Amino acid sequence: MLATRGTRLPGGEEWLHEVKWDGMRVLAEVSSGQVRLWSRNENDVTVSFPELTRLDAPDALLDGEVVAFADGRPSFGALAERMHQRNPRRAQALVASRPVTLLVFDLLRLEGRDLMDEPLERRRQALEGLGLGSDRCQVPPAYDDGEMLWEATRQQRLEGVVSKRLSSRYVPGLRSPHWLKFPHRERASWVVGGWRPETGSADRLGALLVGEPTPDGLVFRGRVGSGVTGRAAARLRELVEPLAAPVSPFIDQLPRVDVLGTRWVRPELVVDVESLGYSHHDRLRQPSFQGVRTDLAPEDLLERQEPRDQEAGDE
């Protein structure tokens, strides 16, 4: 069951609110203390997380997220090294340097009894009754004050809030209006260094390649396709066309997947982009185009650069 993007935090006694963790969603199947982990696309990912393969709990099916912490905060960059590891020996070696925790927020089956048709309130009570509470597996608290949690997660630079209706049943695969997500997205200005045509078209603009101005030059930060549609795409095409350049303006070597089909431009156009922070490769996570900044020049961004956490960040 997946959350729908919300527009306004709900209030009232019929809702609970949880921290939105920056991790990897999994189903954990517990049988005789042994655990198997399944990803959202139904792949067995147990080998990636050997420290989670045993759990002192009754037979159950748990829904949660695998999270890696760095300096007390969830770090998607730290997790990325773990989540794609399929070599058992390498995965075991990473346990010490990149430990993970299973944060459980739902209980779908308990000792052979299917709980998915039970309301969330009862599932939550049963989950809290399991007594999960170790370095490797925890049940994070839920809150009745969404506004308080929203502000607290913003101040602590956490990913956001998920609000859930207490009466909601669990429907596998459904993106439910009874689960609402409210991510804290970072908004910043970037310089356009290239553009990609829309798939199936040679002329319509489909994505921007953006970078960060530094004293050494323009550093690539990612490709932005979300939000680049309709009138916005047409307007951007008008703006980038006069800036056409024969070579890349980025000082770093771009991945082949980003170079193929790209039209380079002089780094003069500034745009605003929202994102969920940065991946472990210092690329914007889930970037979304917000608009053109005609009031800013690239040198303005260089002058107001601030320190950032390179691993701040989604799914």
> Nearest-CA neighbor of 298 among 257, 258, 270?
270
Among 16, 18, 20, 91, the active-site one is 20
For residue 30, give Cα distances in angstroms to 19, 44, 198: 24, 14, 45
Spatial CB neighbours of 114, under 8 Å, sequence gap ≥ 6: 108
> Is residue 181 annotated as a catalytic residue, yes or no?
no
Half-sphere exposure of 56 (CA within 13 A, CB side): 7
Active site residues: 20
